[in-house]
Each structure stands twice: as C-alpha cells, then as structure tokens.
Amino acid sequence: MFTTTITANTGLATVITVGIILFLLALFFAHRTVIEKRKAVIRQSFVMTSYVLLIALMVAGIFVILDLWDYDVTDMLGNFFQNMPVFLEENMPRIIGILITLVVALGIHKMAKVALYRVGRKPSPNQRRKQTITKISLSVIKYLIGIVVIIVILAIMGVNIGPALAGLGIIGLVIGLGAQKFINDLISGLFIVFEHHFDIGDWVQIQGFSGEVTDIGLKTTKVKSFTGEVRIFNNGSIDPVSNFNMADSLAIVNFSIAYKEDVAETIEILGKELPKLREEDENLLEAPRILGVTDLAESGVNLRIVVKTVPMTQWGVERLLRQRVKEILDANGIEIPFPQVVVHSPSPKE
C-alpha cells in the first residue's frame, strides 16, 4: 500500500502536469482533425509518427504525476510485467471474447452505415425522405449496438446479467422520471420522422427562424439559414413548424404603369409574352397569370402577376418575371411611373 504526502509544491506541480496533459489531449484531437482534412497530401508514415509521439508524451505525463505523488513507478511497472503472463493465462479467453465482440460490433455498424448511405444516395423521387430515414436509422442502430456490446462484455466478464438488467431497468425508470424533457424530445423526434413533418433538405420556419434542415436526430434538429447561421432545436420544442416544401410555391410580382396607359392593352400584351417564360425556366409549373389592377396608387396603377413554381424556387422566378415585365413594357412604349410631385403656383393678383 502506498502512502501519499501532499505538499503545496507537489500540488502545484501536479496541477501544472495535468494542464500539460490536457493540452496534449487537445493538441492530439486538433492534430487528428487537421490530418483527416489533409490526408491526401500528408504521408501515412508522418501520421503514424505524430500519433505515437503524442501518445508517448501523454503516457510520460501520467508517470510524472505518479512520481510526484510518491508512487514507485519502477516497482509498479515491475509488478505489472511480472504478473502479466499469469493474468493473460487466466483471462485470455475473456480478452479474446471481448475483442471479438468489439470487432463484430464495429463491423455491423460499418456495414449498416455503408448500406444505409448507399440507399440514401441512390437517386429517387423521395431522395430527401430516404436521407432522413438513413440519419435516424443510423442513430438508433448506434445506440442499440452500444447497449448490446455492454451487456455482452459484462456477461463475458462473469457478471450475472439478470440482476444487472433488472438494475438497469430500475435505473432507467428513475432516469426517465428525472429526464422527462429528454424523453419528450426523443418521442417527438420519432413522430417528426414517421409522420413526415419535414425531411433533410426541406426549407422550414420554426419559432420565427427560417432555414434548410441539415440534420434530424432523435433529440435535436439542425436548421441552417441562408446566411449560414445554424440553429439547433430540441425536437420537443418544434411547435409549430412551417414546411415550405410540402406544396408548390407561388411567385408574386407587383408592378405599376402610368395613369395615361391603357390597362386592358397592357394586360393583353403581357398575356401573350409571359407564357414564353416556361421555355426559359423549368421551375414554372404554369403560365404566369395577370390578376389585374390591385391598387390605384399616387403615381400609377398597380398590377399583379402570379405563377406556381417548384417549391423554394419562387424567388428566382420573381426576379426573372420582373426583368421580363420591364423589357416587355419598354418594348411596347408603356411607361413605368416614378414618384413625382406636381406643384401648382397661383397666378399673381393684378
């Protein structure tokens, strides 16, 4: 049994060493991320050397902490290597069983991931729906595999699974009572997916925030706005939600002509020319319709054009419509008014 005497200097040195180890851990994961992004241009030998060096530094830091706390590291290592053959001889079947379990679990997860992603990427009319089901299925499979692996490893180590499962059930009940919001998020996530509220790639509005759905999980949903802002919503708080992809969109364009122009003639000209836009833009689902006069404004007569479009393409269609309306009106000499003020000056009295 070891006896530890903590002094102020030892405590300070320990804190410094722990800080160095945490810094090395952060450096390790950051370095790993950079390597993943630049894998094509970095040699594999350099990658392995970096991993080995960082791990060696972290192990050395652990040994320094043990030495600062008056543990005989040499004696500990000697006892470890001395008892290693006996330990391996007694526990080799269990170690092999645990390794096989982990390998099989990783293999199942990898095969499920590859299979589901292939199905999700295969072009089809329900592409977004398939991607959503793929995401949620992978999440469920990951959790199930983790639970099964833990139970199997406990059984291999000789733990009586029956009482353990009963204990897990009681613990789960207690956690469920204390984490009702978490359970609510999970249930809401299942309803969102299976009732088809929205899919990955849909444009939605949740609590006043509009954007594209980039990820749907069991607990949260990520929405990205057109400015790049990503907001994460708990599935239980997504109420209400507006989905702009579930029905055709409507492009609306308002414009004005001068009071001196003939309204009926303008509508007739536009009615002949605007249907040609369907040949230019396949997002138009019908010929544009001129609804007529919507307002008698101060400077001119306001008219409105509407047309059904493919979901989420109405903005581009509106820009195209405004450009064509301007070109058609100019080509036919129809004046587009601009704000103006007419001042009448009374004649001077004689």
Which burial class, exposed, middle or buried, applies to 66 when counting CB atoms under 10 A from its CB (0-12, 13-18, 19+)? middle
pLDDT tens column, 24-64: 565 555 555 544 445 544 555 555 666 677 777 777 777 67
With respect to residue 313, please indicate whether it lies within any of the assigned structural domains: yes
Q: pTM score, two decimals?
A: 0.48
Average predicted confidence (pLDDT) for the chain? 76
**Which of residues 40, 71, 102 is at a domain's end?**
71
Please say if the pLDDT value at position 325 is more than 90: yes
Say whether both 218 and 261 belong to one domain.
no
Confidence of residue 72 (pLDDT cuts 50, 70, 90): low
The predicted pLDDT at position 327 comes to 93
Q: Helices 73-121 and 127-156, interaxial angle, to 10°? A: 150
The predicted pLDDT at position 293 comes to 92
Instruction: Provide the residue range defining the domain that includes 285.
Output: 249-331
With respect to residue 102, please indicate whether it lies within any of the assigned structural domains: no
Closest CA to 149 of 186, 192, 222, 97: 97
The predicted pLDDT at position 231 comes to 92
The predicted pLDDT at position 129 comes to 67
The predicted pLDDT at position 191 comes to 82
Residue 311 to residue 202: CA distance in whole angstroms: 9
Chain centroid, CA 49 distance in Å: 34
**Which of residues 22, 39, 71 is at a domain's end?**
71
The predicted pLDDT at position 40 comes to 47
Q: Which two tokens stand for residue 97?
A: 């069983």
Please say if the pLDDT value at position 120 is more than 70: no
Say whether both 230 and 265 belong to one domain.
no
Confidence of residue 6 (pLDDT cuts 50, 70, 90): very low
pLDDT tens column, 184-243: 887 888 788 777 788 888 889 898 898 988 888 778 888 998 888 999 998 888 888 888
| Cis check: omega of the bond before 163, within 30 degrees of 0 | no
With respect to residue 125, please indicate whether it lies within any of the assigned structural domains: no
The share of the chain scoring above pLDDT 70, in percent, equals 65
Q: What does R_g of the chain's alpha carbons equal in angstroms?
A: 35
Closest CA to 249 of 156, 314, 164: 314
Q: Across residues 157-163, what is the average pLDDT?
A: 69
The share of the chain scoring above pLDDT 90, in percent, equals 16
With respect to residue 119, please indicate whether it lies within any of the assigned structural domains: no
Secondary structure (3-state) at 306: strand
Please say if the pLDDT value at position 2 is more than 50: no
pLDDT tens column, 261-308: 999 999 999 989 998 888 888 889 898 999 999 999 888 899 999 999
Say whether both 253 and 235 belong to one domain.
no
Secondary structure (3-state) at 324: helix
Residue 258 to residue 264: CA distance in whole angstroms: 13
With respect to residue 140, please indicate whether it lies within any of the assigned structural domains: no
Are the CB atoms for 231 and 209 separated by under 8 Å? yes
Closest CA to 322 of 251, 269, 265, 272: 251
Closest CA to 152 of 101, 96, 105: 101
- Lowest average pLDDT, out of 100-114, 135-149, 150-164, goes to 150-164
CATH number of the domain within which 230 lies: 2.30.30.60
Closest CA to 302 of 310, 315, 293, 311: 293
Q: How many domains does the chain have?
A: 3
Q: Across residues 338-343, what is the average pLDDT?
A: 72
Q: Across residues 171-184, what is the average pLDDT?
A: 64
Confidence of residue 244 (pLDDT cuts 50, 70, 90): confident
Say whether both 262 and 320 belong to one domain.
yes
- What letter does residue 243 receive in the DSSP assignment? E
Say whether both 44 and 66 belong to one domain.
yes
Confidence of residue 4 (pLDDT cuts 50, 70, 90): very low
CATH number of the domain within which 299 lies: 3.30.70.100
Say whether both 253 and 327 belong to one domain.
yes
How many residues are there in the chain?
350
Q: Which two tokens stand for residue 328?
A: 């058609």
Say whether both 260 and 203 belong to one domain.
no
**Which of residues 53, 71, 89 is at a domain's end?**
71
Residues with Cβ within 8 Å of 42's Cβ and at least 6 positions away in sequence, in order, are 35
Secondary structure (3-state) at 275: helix
Please say if the pLDDT value at position 143 is more than 70: yes
Say whether both 211 and 274 belong to one domain.
no
Are the CB atoms for 271 and 225 separated by under 8 Å? no
The predicted pLDDT at position 289 comes to 92
The predicted pLDDT at position 159 comes to 67
Say whether both 229 and 257 belong to one domain.
no
- Helical H segments across the chain, by residue range: 8-37, 44-68, 73-121, 127-156, 161-178, 180-194, 263-273, 277-280, 314-331
The predicted pLDDT at position 127 comes to 65
